[in-house]
Amino acid sequence: MSNRNQPSQDPADGRYHHGNLREALLDAVGETIAEKGVAGVSLREAARRAGVSHGAPAHHFGDKLGLLTAYSTRGFQLFGERMRAAAESAAEPGQRLNAIGVEYLRFALEEPAYFEVMFRSDMHASDDDTFQATSKGAFGILADVAAEASQDDCDDNDPLVLALKSWALVHGLASLWADGAISHFWPGDDLAELAGLIFEDEFGGGSD
């Protein structure tokens, strides 16, 4: 835990121990992705931004894949919290699925750095236990809400199938939008508008 009461930014004093290097390195990854894209991420760059020597990251993350895995895990942590909050904030259970779908897209737009790494199999060691547990926990919220919604709304289809369908729809929309592929055909620059039209057809509920 190491909950010290010093700021999580890099101290850059003469201190030998950084105090919060692990988090500072993960912050540095986010900064680097925002500035230079995921191709610009490197152990040495993260160390540089955190004000430590080039070998320091290896102690906390082992290798580059470990650093990215930890960054993905932190992304899924935040992602899960936002999904849970969206589900709970929905006025009535029937609107939970729609609320989650909107929040999913919002996350993809507001946290592109996380989103870009989280769903890329070569950006994380999929056998990492913490990563698996965290990502599965976040996905579980989606599955629960979607399964619940499918029991209310629809006929006797498998709730799991409908959950995966909703998930695929939202994820595909977010991915294609992020990649810029949709921009060839959809004139607007507002993903929420397009999502509203698509979800209206799918879930029958409007977006905010």
Site for its own copies, rule CB under 8 A: 37-39, 116, 119-122, 126, 132, 135-136, 139, 143, 157-158, 160-165, 167-173, 175-176, 178-182, 184-186, 194, 197-198, 201-202
By C-beta, is 20 or 135 nearer to its own copies? 135
Total binding residues toward DNA, as defined by CB under 7 A: 24
Please tell me whether residue 194 binds DNA under the rule CB under 7 A.
no
- Residue choice 6, 54, 183, 204 for contact with DNA (CB under 7 A): 54
Q: In this chain, which stretch among 10-18, 77-85, 131-139, 177-185 interacts with DNA, using CB under 7 A? A: 10-18
- Residue choice 28, 56, 97, 138 for contact with DNA (CB under 7 A): 56
Angle of helix 21-36 relative to helix 64-89, nearest 10 degrees, comes to 90
Angle of helix 191-203 relative to helix 96-110, nearest 10 degrees, comes to 160
Quote the distance between the C-alpha of residue 51 and its chain's center. Answer: 27
By C-beta, is 84 or 153 nearer to its own copies? 153
Task: Please name which of 150, 148, 128, 129 lies closest in space to residue 140, comparing C-alpha atoms.
Answer: 148
How far is it, in rounded angstroms, from Cα 21 to Cα 49?
11
Smallest gap from Cβ 99 to its own copies, in A, equals 19
How far is it, in rounded angstroms, from Cα 145 to Cα 101?
10
Please tell me whether residue 45 binds DNA under the rule CB under 7 A.
yes
The vertex-115 CA angle with 50 and 144, nearest 5°, equals: 125
Q: Are 145 and 97 in contact (CB under 8 A)?
A: yes
Q: Are 170 and 109 in contact (CB under 8 A)?
A: no
Please tell me whether residue 19 binds DNA under the rule CB under 7 A.
yes
Smallest gap from Cβ 79 to DNA, in A, equals 24
Residues that bind DNA in the complex, under the rule CB under 7 A:
2, 15-19, 21, 41-45, 47, 52-56, 58-60, 63-65
